[in-house]
Amino acid sequence: MRSVSDLLRYAGLLALAALVLAFPQLAPDAFILSVGVVIMSYAVLATSWNFVGGFTGYISLGHAAYSGLGGYATALLITRTGMNPWLALVAGAVLVALLAIPIGIASLRVRGASFVIVSIALVLITLLVFQSWGALTGGSNGLRVPRPFGEGVLRPEQHERFFYLHAALLALALLCWWIIDRSRFGAGLKAIREDEDKAQSLGVPTFAYKLVVFVISALFTALGGGLYALWFGFLDPVFQFSILAGSYLVLMSLLGGIRSLFGPLLGAVVVGYAVEFFKNQYGDTQLHLVALGVLLAVVVLFMPEGVIPALSGQLRKLRPRATSIREVSQAELAAQRTPEEATR
């Protein structure tokens, strides 16, 4: 018989799924629906980042490089080869994942602050390359991406379709994260996160494990970047390869809970809505950066593990504590005695 906590967890999942499916019909206008698409895109990217950050503890500020590469790979395959947009999306993500193998081999040899610096260097290099290579990428003028549903589909309907596509990709990423979390592979990754040297001494192939999860993270990030490119219809190197965008992913995961399944999703809802709200209310001012900086400081100071782990800890405190020695009645003791003991 399932416990009450399991039933509550399943009920919460069903409620979340129902809310996501109903959102396009509940949105009052096309702008709110477009904000929903942006938030779902953030959720996909933050969950993809969490494969590396959550499992291994390696903090990457340059994950925007993989989303940008995924977007440009998808767009160039469509415009240069005439490939079907959905095939281009998958093929572009696979190409980025293959590119992530040598990048991971080089960057995963360092840890801590050195890995952060390498990740920043990666996104800056890709920015310079895609800005300078104007003949292929359009450079600073940007690159227009053909819309997969054609120009005859109105923008509200485009938003609705892409909202569901992002939701499906998010569900796939969450399922993959959940499977890894409960596997032997996931146990090895968690051992790396807690103490990499000790994990290696116990026989965990630490470098191979890190490289595999790094490539998985790059694959989902590239899928998210490619899907966003198909929705938005335009790519700009400054926006696509932004350290600030990579910092958003870290903030989202930290806010919700870097080691939890739904932590990045919660963080994406809060941070994504806050970013869009401040941009809509205050235009091109940098007030949203100040607000997000304050939010990050509050999380680090008061909820260093994130919102979901903090709330889970408070709920555990409210539950009745199990005693180490259970009270047993005389009848139960008599029933547990063997026939030989009863005749003594």
Check residue 66 and give its pLDDT.
Answer: 96
d(CA 65, CA 173): 19
Residue 257 lies inside a defined structural domain of this protein: yes
In a domain, 102, yes or no: yes
- Write out the two tokens for 295: 């939010």
pLDDT of residue 334: 57
Q: What are the CA-CA distances from residue 281 to residues 244, 249, 274, 292 (Å)?
A: 20, 22, 10, 15
Residue 324: CB atoms within 10 Å: 5
CATH code for position 270:
1.10.3470
**Sites in the chain below the pLDDT cut of 70:** 1-6, 283-285, 314-344
pLDDT at 341: 52
The string of pLDDT tens digits covering residues 116-134 is 999 999 999 999 999 999 8
Q: Is residue 31 part of a domain?
A: yes
Q: Is position 288 within any domain?
A: yes
Q: pTM of the entire structure?
A: 0.87
Domain contains 122: yes
The residue range of the domain holding 59 is 26-320
Residue-level pLDDT at 331: 55
DSSP annotation of 257 reads: -
Q: What is the pLDDT of residues 102-112, one digit of tens each?
A: 999 999 999 98
Nearest to 48 by CA among 193, 190, 182, 216: 216
Residue 10 in any domain: the answer is: no
What domain count does the chain have? Answer: 1
Confirm whether 4 is domain-assigned.
no
Which stretches of 27-154 are DSSP H helices? Answer: 30-56, 64-81, 85-107, 112-132, 134-137
| Euclidean distance between CA atoms 133 and 249, whole angstroms | 27
- Alpha-carbon separation of residue 15 from 8, 252, 288 (angstroms): 10, 22, 31
Q: Is residue 1 part of a domain?
A: no
Query: Rounded to an integer, what distance in angstroms lies between the CA atom of residue 239 and that of residue 245?
Result: 8
CB 214 within 8 A of CB 108: yes
Note the pLDDT of residue 321. 57
Digit-coded pLDDT (tens) for 218-253: 999 999 999 999 999 999 999 899 888 888 898 899
Q: What is the pLDDT of residue 10?
A: 79
CA proximity to 230, closest of 93, 78, 46, 100: 78
The structure tokens 């103490």 sit at: 195
Q: What are 144's strand-pairing partners? A: 234
